[in-house]
Structure 1
Amino acid sequence: MGYHKIDKTDRKILNILQKSAKITNAQLSKEIGLSPAPTLERVKKLEQTGIIKSYHAQLDPAKIGLGVSTFVLVTLAGHNKENIDKFLDNINQIEEVIECHHITGSGDFILKVIAKDIASYQQVMLEKVSDISVVDNLSSMVVLSTLKDSKALPIPE
């Protein structure tokens, strides 16, 4: 684990793969100006070092019936290891929670929760999230519209 230095060619590969992970090795090699064998070698190395963690299909939530997206600020009853571990054990069992970040500031965690509709969201919050014994306070923010949703990371020089 840790920082890995990457060169200009690796940076090109990563930028292209972040935009289109389904690109063929032949097309990728053409776009970066290397032959297919060294291109594949570089991609494998990026995977082995953990720089490329995985490949995913990005779904359109609305097209699969998920119409409500929210951010939830969570404050725990006490900020100790036992409470944090208990919270994380529970939150990892809730599939509607698609992101969980440990934060500084007025709360302890921020969650991204996605649900079919407001009634489904309310059920998740009442029956799952607020039912976690170490949760002290929840503050929800409903997403009205998403103006930017990039999954591509800026790759430092």
Structure 2
Amino acid sequence: MAKSLDSIDRAILKVLQRDGRIQNVELAERVALSPSPCLRRVRLLEEAGIIERYVALLDATKVGMGLTLFVRVWLTGQDEETVNTFVRAISKLPQVVECHLMAGDCDFLLRVVACDLEGYRRFQIEHLGRIRGVRNMKTEIPMQKIKHSWEVPV
């Protein structure tokens, strides 16, 4: 059962989504609590799994992975063995930063990062194209990033 969030929990989550490194004293001040109850609420949100983890968000371009591509994948079948084989293979590829099982036209939608188009071409040939059960792939190249957010509306 999902934890019921009150307005203070939601305020804490909004602040932490923007700055996961904020000190508890400052967080407490921003959500109008004293530090002890604020820390207690954060711990409860963590224990409930609402806050999964804290991460550093990188500028992909500055670490040499500035090209993002979306790859639609069709498998030879949708049986459990074929799907599980694909999922296990994709899970081992760090260039695949998102993988979604889809309803609709394709079986999976991947978000892949690469250094450049040639790097992606090599990745597709050497890795994606060699996964057992992959029937077809179509790669979409975004022209411009309009919005990119990790914040969940709370």
Q: Check whether TM > 0.5.
A: yes
Which residue does the alignment assign to 2:56?
57
Which residue does the alignment assign to 1:37?
36
Deviation at 1:67, TM superposition (A): 2.3
Counting only pairs closer than 5 Å after superposition, residues 109-124 of structure 1 correspond to structure 2 as 109-124=108-123
Which residue does the alignment assign to 2:27?
28
Deviation at 1:124, TM superposition (A): 0.7
Which residue does the alignment assign to 2:100?
101
Deviation at 1:65, TM superposition (A): 1.2
Deviation string for 1:36-57 (max 9, x for gaps)? 0000000000000000001111
Counting only pairs closer than 5 Å after superposition, residues 1-157 of structure 1 correspond to structure 2 as 2-155=1-154
Deviation string for 1:92-150 (max 9, x for gaps)? 11110010011111001100000001111001111101111110110100122211001
Number of residue equivalences: 154
Deviation at 1:3, TM superposition (A): 2.3
TM-score when normalising by structure 1: 0.96
TM-score when normalising by structure 2: 0.98
What is the alpha-carbon distance in structure 2 between the residues aligned to residue 67 and residue 110 of structure 1? 19
Unaligned 5+ runs, structure 2: none
Unaligned 5+ runs, structure 1: none
Deviation string for 1:3-47 (max 9, x for gaps)? 221111000000000011111000000001110000000000000
Q: CA RMSD in A?
A: 0.8
Structure 1 stretches of at least 4 aligned residues deviating more than 3 Å after TM superposition:
none
Letter in 2 for 1:132: I
What is the alpha-carbon distance in structure 1 between the residues aligned to residue 94 and residue 85 of structure 2? 17
Identity in percent: 36
The DSSP-based 3-state class of the residue aligned with 1:87 is helix
What is the alpha-carbon distance in structure 2 between the residues aligned to residue 31 and residue 15 of structure 1? 11
